[in-house]
Amino acid sequence: GNSVTQMEGPVTLSEEAFLTINCTYTATGYPSLFWYVQYPGEGLQLLLKATKADDKGSNKGFEATYRKETTSFHLEKGSVQVSDSAVYFCALSVWLSGNTGKLIFGQGTTLQVKP
Amino acid sequence: DTGVSQNPRHKITKRGQNVTFRCDPISEHNRLYWYRQTLGQGPEFLTYFQNEAQLEKSRLLSDRFSAERPKGSFSTLEIQRTEQGDSAMYLCASTAGTGQETQYFGPGTRLLVL
- A22 vs A70: CA distance, rounded Å: 12
Closest CA relative to residue B77, chosen from B8, B1, B3, B2 = B8
Residues of B in contact with A106 (CB under 8 A): 42
Whether the ω angle into residue A115 lies within 30 degrees of 0, i.e. cis, is: no
Sheet holding A62-65, edge to edge: A19-21, A75-77, A62-65, A56-59
Question: What pLDDT digit, counting tens, does each position of B76-87 carry?
Answer: 999 999 999 999
B34 touches chain A (CB under 8 A): no
Query: How far apart, in Å, are the Cα atoms of B89 and each of B8, B35, B41?
Result: 11, 8, 11
A93 touches chain B (CB under 8 A): yes
CB contact under 8 Å between A100 and B50, yes or no, is yes
Which residues are bridge partners to B53 per DSSP?
Answer: B50
B95 touches chain A (CB under 8 A): yes
Instruction: Give pLDDT, residue A9.
Output: 84
Q: Which residue of B has its CA nearest to A52?
A: B100
Question: What pLDDT digit, counting tens, does each position of A25-61 carry?
Answer: 999 888 999 999 999 888 899 999 999 999 999 999 9
pLDDT band at A95 (very low <50, low <70, confident <90, very high): confident
Q: What percentage of chain A reaches a pLDDT higher than 90?
A: 78
- A21 vs A36: CA distance, rounded Å: 12
Q: Which residue of B has its CA nearest to A51?
A: B100
pLDDT band at A7 (very low <50, low <70, confident <90, very high): confident
Q: Give chain A's mean pLDDT.
A: 93
3-state percent breakdown (helix, strand, coil) of chain B, nearest 5 = 5, 50, 45
Question: What pLDDT digit, counting tens, does each position of A105-115 carry?
Answer: 999 999 999 99
Question: What pLDDT digit, counting tens, does each position of B10-52 carry?
Answer: 999 999 999 999 999 999 899 999 999 998 899 999 999 999 9
pLDDT at B1 over 60: no
Residues of B in contact with A96 (CB under 8 A): none
CB contact under 8 Å between B95 and A101, yes or no, is yes
Q: Average pLDDT, stretch A55-75?
A: 97
How many A/B residue pairs have CB atoms within 8 Å?
Answer: 58
